[in-house]
Amino acid sequence: MNKIIIVGASAVVLAACATAPQRSEQIEQARAQIQTLSADPLAQEAAARDLDAARTSLREAEQALQDRRPEPVVDHLAYVAERHAEAGEARVAEAHARQEIARAQEERNQILLAARERETQNAQVLAANAQAQAADARGQAADARSQAQQAQQQLADAQQQLADLQAKKTDRGLVVTLGDVLFDTGQATLKPGADLRFNRLADYLKSHPDTKIIIEGHTDSRGSDSYNETLSERRAQAVANALESRGVSGDQYRAIGRGKGYPVASNDTPEGRQQNRRVEIIFSDSSGRFAQSADQPIQR
């Protein structure tokens, strides 16, 4: 009786083993690798054939396991499925790499384009600056030409004015000599006929405010030294007063009496004495500087 029970139990266990499918670790590994591959967004695009082959081999391995085929056969089919999945993963990795390369190339192109745009903008700015500088230079050149022309015209006007005043160039500078026809004999009052020359002289000095003059009064030898000294000072001051009344600044002139000590002709004749009775006006340069000999009257 006991033998019958044992035999029956063994038969039940064998029947249960015959109906329950076996588990394959190789299949589990292949299945996990295929799931990993199929989860990648690029799998269908880059490795569709590998994924399909891996799935087909996995189904064959699962069927072989279900059919209780020998374990080496099952493991081989699962191994093939796993290799197809690995090949697909390699293709997907390559696709990802190509995407990264393309993205990097696009970023590089964008950087180069932005750099070229900045260079173009910089070049345009530099060109605009250069054009502005050129325009400024042309404007400055035009101003310089205009100023030069004005200076030349002013010089010509000044030379003409001095020519009208009958100025002579000497070691003391330009000198204008006013004869004694400006005064009555022994007097320091200007005659009305001197107005034209004084008007010209005043106009010249007012148009050249940096120019200064020394006004020197001279007499002939008749009379005492003190008399002639005083007379020459009064005549020099009379000329200064005439210029002041015409608007010439007092900073531009200095009046000095030289008396009879610096004749330009012989006092033995009426003609010579007439030449010695004079007022001399010595001009500075345009900066207000006199020649070193300006304070040393010419004696002949």
pLDDT in tens, 81-118: 999 999 999 999 999 999 999 999 999 999 999 988 88
**Per residue, what are the HEC states of the chain?**
CHHHHHHHHHHHHHHHHHHCCCCCHHHHHHHHHHHHHHHCCCHHHHCHHHHHHHHHHHHHHHHHHHCCCCHHHHHHHHHHHHHHHHHHHHHHHHHHHHHHHHHHHHHHHHHHHHHHHHHHHHHHHHHHHHHHHHHHHHHHHHHHHHHHHHHHHHHHHHHHHHHHCCCEEECCEEEEEEEHHHECCCCCCECHHHHHHHHHHHHHHHHCCCCCEEEEEECCCCCCHHHHHHHHHHHHHHHHHHHHHCCCCHHHEEEEECCCCCCCCCCCCHHHHHHHCEEEEEECCCCCCCCCCCCCCCCC
Judge whether 112 lies within some domain. no
Lowest-pLDDT range, 167-176, 208-217, 228-237, 255-264? 167-176
Give the CATH number of the domain where residue 173 resides: 3.30.1330.60
- Give the mean pLDDT of 21-31: 88
Is the pLDDT at 75 greater than 80, yes or no?
yes
Inside any domain, residue 175: yes
- Asked whether the beta carbons of 260 and 233 are under 8 A apart, the reply is no
Return the pLDDT at 53.
94
The predicted pLDDT at position 148 comes to 66
Residue type, 252: Q
Are residues 172 and 97 part of one domain?
no
- Among residues 63, 78, 103, which one ends one of the domains? 103
Q: What is the residue whose two structure tokens read 């002139």?
A: 253
Of 159 and 172, the one with more pLDDT: 172
Residue 172: predicted pLDDT: 86
Query: Of the given ranges (13-22, 57-66, 288-297), which has the lowest mean pLDDT?
Result: 13-22
* Rg for the chain, CA atoms, rounded: 61
Task: State the pLDDT confidence band at 4, using cuts at 50, 70 and 90.
Answer: very low
Q: Are residues 99 and 161 in the same domain?
A: no
pLDDT, position 18? 43
Is residue 295 in a domain?
no
Among 177, 285, 299, 170, residue whose Cα is nearest residue 239 = 177
Q: Is residue 128 part of a domain?
A: no
Q: For residue 184, what pLDDT is reported?
A: 72
Print the domain residue range for 168. Answer: 156-283
Task: Output the pTM of the full model.
Answer: 0.51
The answer to the question of residue 201 being in a domain is yes
Q: Confidence band (pLDDT; 50, 70, 90) for 21?
A: low
Is 288 within a domain? no
Assess if residue 236 is contained within a domain: yes
Contact of 26 with 75, CB cutoff 8 Å: yes
Q: Are residues 168 and 275 in the same domain?
A: yes
Q: What's the Cα-to-Cα distance from 157 to each of 109, 208, 227, 277, rounded to whole Å?
A: 70, 11, 40, 30
- Whether 265 and 167 share a structural domain: yes
Q: How many domains does the chain have?
A: 2
Does the pLDDT of residue 284 top 50, yes or no? yes
Percent over 90 (pLDDT), the chain: 54
Q: Are 177 and 254 part of one and the same domain?
A: yes
Has residue 2 got a pLDDT over 60?
A: no
Q: How far apart are CA 256 and CA 152, in angstroms?
A: 34
User: What pLDDT, on the 0 to 100 scale, is given for residue 188?
Assistant: 82
Between 44 and 181, the higher pLDDT residue: 44
Is-contact 48 99, C-beta < 8 A?
Answer: no
The pLDDT tens digits for 181-223 are 677 777 888 887 778 888 999 999 999 999 999 999 999 999 9
**Average pLDDT score over residue span 64-83:** 93
In a domain, 245, yes or no: yes
> Are 243 and 163 part of one and the same domain?
yes
Note whether 160 and 99 are same-domain residues.
no
Averaged confidence pLDDT in the chain: 85
- The pLDDT value recorded for residue 16 is 38
